Amino acid sequence: MADHSMHDAGHGGHGEHPSHPRYQHQFDDMGQQQAASGLGMWMFLVQEIMFFGGLFIAYLVYRHKFFDAFSAASNTLNWKLGFFNTVVLIGSSLTMALAVNAAQRGLKKRLIVFILGTMFLGTVFLGVKVIEYHDKYVENHIPGANFCFHDSQDACMDNEGKPQAEEQEWLEAMHKKAEESRNKPDAVPMPTAAGMVGSLEMAPQGHSAPEDAVMANKSANPRERSMSGSELYFSLYFAMTGMHALHMVIGMGLMVWLLLKAYQGVYDETYYTPVENFGLYWHFVDIVWIYLFPLLYLINGVGK
């Protein structure tokens, strides 16, 4: 009997009886269960730190290699929207901390309100990112076949396939050179910007293609005329902010689950581990953005 009593006392070492409806049998008591859950969450966050750490290291290496291109590309980002999103995420960290506090105190209505507040601020953040991504699409700054970036901050073509003013002048000059080339005897046909009319292979035997024709052929592709290293910057920009946004979307889904459980009255003074662990996750996501904002938006001072 004495041993049995001591065993029961060990289960209630934290003032909570193992008969709690959320008690898992593999733990000695609710206190140990909560500590194990917290440790598991911290181990997960360590893996997340290593994942984002790899992206940060890649960014720093290539920033050093293409500093001018990274600076020019950074200046095309709207730092005001980035700063607004920073404030929004800091606010969401506050509401999440208040939600954890409400769960620990068993305040159901307050917990629901603060979870909803965190979800609202997260939605605002993602909405602003959609606006920023759309701007990059319009400016042809999305890495790929249509990518084009000049240090003048002007895109080469809009996404309707129409050349902008600067590019229109370049196209007209290319057509004019092509016409002049065709009117000269034994001249190498110049490639046009639209259909690449003429080819360097058409040069008469024994004649080499002039250097300007070679450069014109090479520069007919807007992507090849882009500033060296700029596409790499935008690749890292979309990779880093995209993964951050994905973590936020996952967090929003988890908050829907927390909200449902909170409405059912699952969380109280004796059980609030899921809310507390999610709070750690959300704070981590916010901290990642605190690093992303200055690295991506403020690398070369305020640009816009």
Residue 254: what pLDDT?
95
Tokens 């259909």 belong to 195
% helix, strand, coil for the chain, step of 5: 65, 0, 30
CA distance 281 to 248: 10
Considering only CA atoms, give the Rg of the chain. 29
Query: Quick one: pLDDT band at residue 206, thresholds 50, 70, 90?
Result: very low
**More confidently predicted of 215 and 169:** 169
DSSP state of 210: P
Query: Quick one: pLDDT band at residue 182, thresholds 50, 70, 90?
Result: low
Residue 15: what pLDDT?
46
CA distance 240 to 244: 6
CA distance 105 to 33: 19
Residue 218: what pLDDT?
44
Q: What is the pLDDT of residues 236-248, one digit of tens each?
A: 999 999 999 999 9
Beta-bridged to residue 271, according to DSSP, are 268
Mean pLDDT across the chain: 77
Q: What mean pLDDT is predicted for residues 66-78?
A: 89
**More confidently predicted of 10 and 269:** 269
Q: Is 226 exposed, middle or buried (0-12, 13-18, 19+ CB in 10 A)?
A: buried
CATH class of 29-147+228-297: mainly alpha
Asked if residue 225 lies in contact with residue 154, where contact means CB atoms within 8 angstroms, the answer is no
Asked if residue 156 lies in contact with residue 123, where contact means CB atoms within 8 angstroms, the answer is no
Q: What is the pLDDT of residues 85-120, one digit of tens each?
A: 999 999 999 999 999 999 999 899 999 999 999 999
Three-class SS state of 163: strand
Residue 36: what pLDDT?
72
CA distance 96 to 283: 8
Asked if residue 293 lies in contact with residue 82, where contact means CB atoms within 8 angstroms, the answer is yes
Tokens representing 29 are 């008591």
Q: What mean pLDDT is predicted for residues 132-148?
A: 88
Q: What mean pLDDT is predicted for residues 120-147?
A: 92
Tokens 């490639």 belong to 191
Residue 266: what pLDDT?
87
**More confidently predicted of 294 and 7:** 294
Q: What is the pLDDT of residues 270-286, one digit of tens each?
A: 888 899 999 999 999 99
Residue 170: what pLDDT?
52
Three-class SS state of 291: helix
**More confidently predicted of 6 and 229:** 229
Asked if the model's pLDDT at residue 291 lies above 80, the reply is: yes
> What amino acid occupies position 166?
E
> What amino acid occupies position 113?
V
CA distance 108 to 98: 12
> Hey, where are the domains in the chain?
29-147+228-297, 165-219
